[in-house]
Amino acid sequence: MSLRSAVLVAGFVLAALNLRPAIAGVSPLLDEIMSDVGLSPAGGGAVTTVMVVCLGVFGPLTPVLARRIGLDRTLLAGLLVIAAGVTLRGLDGAPVLYLGSALAAIAIAVMNVSMPAVVKQHFPGRVNLMTGVYVSAVVAGATLASAVVIPVERATGYGWRGVSALLAVPALLAALFWLPQALRGRGAAANGPRPFAAVLRSRVTWYVTALMGLQSLTFYVMLAWLPTIFLEAGLPADQAGYLLSLTNLVQVATSLAVPVLAGRRESQVPYVMGAGVLTVLGYLGVLLAPATAPWASMIVLGIGQGASFALALLIIALRPADPDAVTALSAVAQSVGYVIAALGPLLFGLLRQVSGGWTVPLAAGLGVLVVQLVAGWFAGRPATLGKANL
């Protein structure tokens, strides 16, 4: 591998590692943030809610930016804005906390949409491998951030504000590695074809969007509520946290391996179905025996959810014929998908409140997974976006 290729891959992987820490690093520090800033529980929860909503609302900015400044420079701008956002939210006062969080999330939304197109543009012969690499890096970044923010805070004595600002360092490092590519990369394509109309007309777009949104919803439901479910089942708090970490760690390996295997086949249906069934089995384990064999349930759930996420992004990269169309499909699927996902934890909590237990919410989650399986069957079939038969 040449030095240029090595720098390209390093910048790509480092960019992917920055797609979740600004979000995942909030939860472990939330009690301290609320106490310091003077937020209510609703106000504290709104920090994460604002970020997840931004992931959905601002994704459509990406095709506009890519056409004006180029895909590579759009990714570079996203990294710089993440660094600015996490630094800003550590300043004094609730308004800058929300503003900085929103800025970081807007940048992540743009980068989320950019990454499948970057794969298609720079690694056209290795879409399956590089999709696996970047998805596993995304999951690893989230897992690492949630695991290390408290130890880093204790080791440095900086407090939550300093730790938040430190999240700018990996973003700036990734920007440094990506800078050569941004300087030499393809510029604006203002006079090129506009793929949005064709993408929006295609049934494939809506199958992929449904898969992306529903797998994200079932993931964020578990991310938000799994420790609480285990606590109410009688498990100690530390074990509940370890179980959530376990399912996240399993996703790292799964999201690396599955796209490599699935991308070799013309149809991804068997993999999408298998991932959905494993997620169903994980949900059933939590529903029927949360305290009996939780480690087994978390491993199965992690494999299913990690594979589902990776396959959704792989399909986004595979279906369109060119990077511009990938950007358009990615914008639609991820924007609508994250808006759907943002509703999941809220509706799950409301069902818990109304029913007085976890049976009804988890049964509803299983119902969503059945719909996810149907959407996945259609999304996983071989197709090329924009052809008349779609």
Sequence letter at residue 251: Q
Q: What is the pLDDT of residue 23?
A: 86
Dihedral angle computed from the Cα positions of residues 290, 291, 292 and 296, in that order, rounded to the nearest 10 degrees: 60
Rg of the chain over all Cα atoms, to the nearest angstrom:
20
HEC secondary structure over 339-382: HHHHHHHHHHHHHHHHHCCCHHHHHHHHHHHHHHHHHHHHHCCC
| Nearest to 28, CA basis, from 52, 40, 44, 49 | 44
Dihedral angle over CA of 232, 233, 239, 244, nearest 10: -80
Q: What pLDDT is stored for residue 337 in this prediction? A: 87
Nearest alpha-carbon partner for 86 in 109, 111, 105, 110: 105
The class that CATH gives domain 3-183 is mainly alpha
Low-confidence spans in the chain with pLDDT less than 50: 190-192, 387-390
Start-end of CATH 1.20.1250.20 domains in the chain: 3-183, 202-380
pLDDT of the residue at 192: 47
Which residues, including other chains, have CB under 8 Å from residue 389's CB and lie 6 or more apart?
Answer: none
* pLDDT value, residue 92: 81
For 154-160, which contacts have Cβ atoms below 8 Å and span 24 or more sequence positions?
159/32, 159/36, 160/29, 160/32, 160/33, 160/36, 160/90
According to the CATH classification, is domain 202-380 in 1.20.1250.20? yes
**Phi, psi dihedral angles at 233 (to 5 degrees):** -85, -5
**Cβ burial 91-100 (10 Å sphere, 16+ → b, else e):** eeeeeebbbb
* pLDDT confidence of residue 389: 39
The whole-angstrom separation of Cα 108 and Cα 116 is: 13
Direct distance between the N- and C-terminal alpha carbons of the chain, in angstroms, rounded to an integer: 39
Q: Is 93 left (phi over 0), alpha (psi -120 to 50) or beta?
A: left
CA dist 75 and 274 (Å) reads: 33
Question: Do 100 and 89 contact (CB within 8 A), yes or no?
Answer: yes
Residue 311: the pLDDT is: 95
Helices (H), the chain: 3-17, 21-24, 30-37, 41-57, 61-69, 71-88, 94-122, 127-156, 159-166, 168-184, 196-201, 203-232, 237-262, 269-288, 294-318, 323-355, 359-379
pLDDT score for 191: 47
The predicted structure's pLDDT at residue 388:
40
Sign of the CA dihedral with 349 first, then 352, 354, and 360 last: positive
Cα 252 to its chain centre, rounded Å, is 12
pLDDT one-digit tens code per residue, 234-277: 888 778 778 888 888 899 889 989 998 998 888 999 999 999 99
Q: Give how far Cα 176 sits from Cα of 60, 116, 298, Å.
A: 26, 21, 37
**Chain CA centroid to CA 78, Å:** 15
